Amino acid sequence: MGSAAVVPPQAGPAGRIVSYNPATGVPLGDVPDMGADEVKAAVARARAAQREWGAVPLVERCRRVSRIAETLMEGASELIELIVKEGGKTRMEALGTEVAVVADLTRYFCKHAPKLLAPEPIPLHLLKHRGSYLHHVPRGVVGVIAPWNFPFSIPIGEVVMALIAGNGVVLKPSEMTPLIALAGKDIIDRAGIPPELFQVVTGRGPTGAALVESGVDFVVFTGSVATGKRVAAACGERLIPCTMELGGKAPAIVCADADLARTAQALAWGGFCNSGQVCASVERVYAHASVHDELVERLVAITRGLRQGDASSDEVDVGAMTWDKQVDNVERLVDAAVKAGAVVQTGGKRGKGPGQFFEPTVLTGCTQDMDIMRKEIFGPAIPVMKVASEEEAIRLANDSHLGLNAYVFSKDTARARQIAEQVEAGTVMINDVLNTYGCPETPWGGVKQSGVGRTHSVIGLKELCQTRHVNYDRVAVPREIWWYPYKQRTFDWALKGMKLLFGKRPWSRD
């Protein structure tokens, strides 16, 4: 679930990066700002360890990786506290969207990977004396470049899947949340995975660039569209295959027959979870005119009841925003929308206190030409637009350069599915929001400029492998008819056979 672009955090000791609590501004620790030589050395260590790991049978790899879920849950309380402090999200969000996601993904793929990655026979329709099958082998070393908005579940989930597939992994976490990545490394090491197999390289943008340039065999990037384009270009120059999960501008289409109580609850959570710092956040709502006013009334009432503050307290629903520049972005978009005629129904300004907060905000009177309806907000603001019909909502939902997630709300499931199939998005959910990222069996990724490739699911697992084809003889024959020497008689018979196979059949009718 992609993040906004990243800039260096506050200055620290030379050659070090300081991590801060976004709710309080208190420093939490510091990590090295690694250079190209250190990155190359980490990749070399992972590659050496991968040679042995890749030779371990898949079933045994799954058995060993499954221990990660055990060590994760043993240290869950400490990890949750770190995620709250460094990431700003609430304990419930740290548990549900970070820890639980990885634990479940680990168990799921360890159980099902032997079947998902089993050799796949390919029936041949003509050459029946030969057989074909696909088999899946490790790529080598996978480079993971991770965002700050889900600093545990995004990278560590990819690490687990890459390890199951037989790869070594080098992770470059966001400079905003490096301590969480190092905690993930500790959890995986304690599970008994060879420590050299999984490496963490900390640093800023040049460290990520060095990872791409270090000779890795596959890159998984999650982040902004602008940065993703640069990473994809660097991969393209080196012919490194990659998966890019970039930004989102998820529309929610609210039909005239929607269950408004459920819809309002879903929109509130979908827009304000993790302070709106989710690439699949509800970023724009198209509500049918017949239900618009009541929906807004319900949504505003829920929003006004949300408790915002330092998530170290259990009495908080919406925590701090991880990056101060993103607070500026939300403020800029909201202010511009108000100047253009939008109305703030609740919220609309920075939160009180020393930390990085923006009030949960609901805007009405929005129009499609406003930046807040077109550009990624990545913060706790929900713009609502009134539409005359479902057809108008579909057209406006597709009027975007992004296409990661989308949502449809209707009591008529059949009609909702028809609408969903017309929306240009990698995933469309009906009467729910966000949570398919937590379903390891479903693919995650977007269309248009929301990225290329998929993570999670059998698709994501196979993308972490090289898929190779083997063709063999099922029945031994002395020679193939198309081998040398060529003969006129053979040609004549071959031509007759092809006309019979591929030409107009005597029994066919125009």
* Catalytic residue selected from 279, 283, 359, 424: 279
Q: Residue 3 is inside which H or E element, if any?
A: none
Phi, psi angles (nearest 5°) of residue 350: -60, 150
Ramachandran region of residue 171, left (φ > 0), alpha (ψ -120 to 50) or beta? beta
Helix, strand, or coil (residue 470): strand
Active site residue 158: no
* Catalytic residue selected from 86, 93, 245, 283: 245
Helix, strand, or coil (residue 272): helix
Phi, psi angles (nearest 5°) of residue 119: -55, 140
Question: Taking Cα atoms as reference points, which of 238, 243, 241, 305 lies closest to residue 268?
Answer: 305
Give the C-alpha separation, 428 to 422, whole Å. Answer: 10
Ramachandran region of residue 456, left (φ > 0), alpha (ψ -120 to 50) or beta? left
Give the C-alpha separation, 380 to 331, whole Å. Answer: 10
Question: Taking Cα atoms as reference points, which of 365, 367, 366, 362 lies closest to residue 345?
Answer: 362
Phi, psi angles (nearest 5°) of residue 19: -100, 140
Those residues with Cβ within 8 angstroms of residue 135's Cβ, 6 or more apart along the chain or in another chain = 119, 120, 467, 468, 470
Task: Estimate the share of the chain in helix, then strand, then coil, as percent rounded to the nearest 5.
Answer: 40, 20, 40
Those residues with Cβ within 8 angstroms of residue 380's Cβ, 6 or more apart along the chain or in another chain = 271, 272, 275, 276, 318, 321, 330, 347, 358, 359, 360, 361
Q: Residue 288 is inside which H or E element, if any?
A: strand 282-288
Pair 308, 335: CB distance under 8 Å: no
Give the C-alpha separation, 327 to 351, whole Å. Answer: 10
Active site residue 245: yes
Instruction: Name the residues annotated as catalytic.
Output: 245, 279
